[in-house]
Amino acid sequence: ELRLVQFLEGLILLRCGKLDLAVEMLRGIPARSDGGGASLDERVQALLCHAEVLRGDLHAAERHLANAQRHNTSSAATLTVHAYLRMAQDNAASAEGLLKQALHVDSTCPEALLRMGQLLLCEGQVDTAIEYLQKCLRQPLDSPTFGAGERCCANIYLCVAFHKRSAASDQTAGSAVPSESVGRSWTPSLLTLLKLGRCSSSSVASCAVVQDRLARVHFLQAMELHPHL
């Protein structure tokens, strides 16, 4: 279908940072007058809302959000972009509520998991943010709106989160280091730290050295996804 091709082209332009061209392409996609294709119409309007937030035109973003909601008010995609707009408007409470609704609809929605992790990190809820961001990165690469750029962001947020953990003075002993956060190359370094006695097995997650290493792992993963970061 031509409309789908245009949607994907608009998405690619958005990913390349060509916001004006992306908006022009997406606005040119005709809506289905017969009521069919409502799902695509919703995604077009949701993506336009996202693009306008990036362009800083929050009034236009509100209009496109309203258009998306006319097709579906309770899809994970529309709820997530609604939350993204509220985050841009510095309304964290509303954004968090919307993201909870989105994750109730689809608990594995990578966009919602990413935004929840971002929001909680900004709110200082570092441990919970890490959980959402790690779950986000575990999702399969089967969403056209969640690609290398978004995975790069998740890794950067995790890098920041682990640095915050490292700097915190009130870490509790006995927290487990999530194995999915590290690659195979990390295991020898972790074992070396334990053997050297720099951190005990019961307090490994609160060890600043370990947290710094985890932060570095996620930074390097982000660089692999986006070398020109």
- Residue 29 maps to which CATH number? 1.25.40.10
Looking at the structure of the chain, the number of domains it has is: 1
Neighbours of 225 (CB within 10 A): 18
Mean pLDDT (whole number) for 188-212: 52
Q: Output the pLDDT for position 209.
A: 84
What is the domain range of residue 35?
A: 1-107
Q: Which amino acid is at 205?
A: A
Q: Output the pLDDT for position 18.
A: 96
Residue 160 lies in a domain: no
Residue 36 lies in a domain: yes
Rounded to whole angstroms, the Cα distance separating 142 from 156 reads 21
Residue 59 lies in a domain: yes
Residue that wins the pLDDT comparison between 172 and 218: 218
Query: pTM (2 decimals)?
Result: 0.80
Query: Residue 190 gets which letter from DSSP?
Result: H
Average pLDDT, the chain: 84
With a cut of 90, say whether residue 11 has pLDDT above it: yes
Q: Output the pLDDT for position 207.
A: 75
Residue 123 lies in a domain: no
196 Cβ contact list (under 8 Å, min separation 6):
none
With a cut of 50, say whether residue 179 has pLDDT above it: no
Q: Output the pLDDT for position 181.
A: 43
Q: Output the pLDDT for position 13.
A: 95
- DSSP class per residue in 106-126: -TT-HHHHHHHHHHHHHTT-H
Q: Output the pLDDT for position 34.
A: 59
Question: Per residue in 89-134, pLDDT tens?
Answer: 999 999 999 999 999 999 999 999 999 999 999 999 999 999 999 9
Question: Per residue in 13-34, pLDDT tens?
Answer: 998 899 999 999 999 999 876 5
Residue that wins the pLDDT comparison between 88 and 201: 88
Residue 226 lies in a domain: no
Rounded to whole angstroms, the Cα distance separating 12 from 180 reads 29
Residue 135 lies in a domain: no
Residue 210 lies in a domain: no
Mean pLDDT (whole number) for 213-226: 92
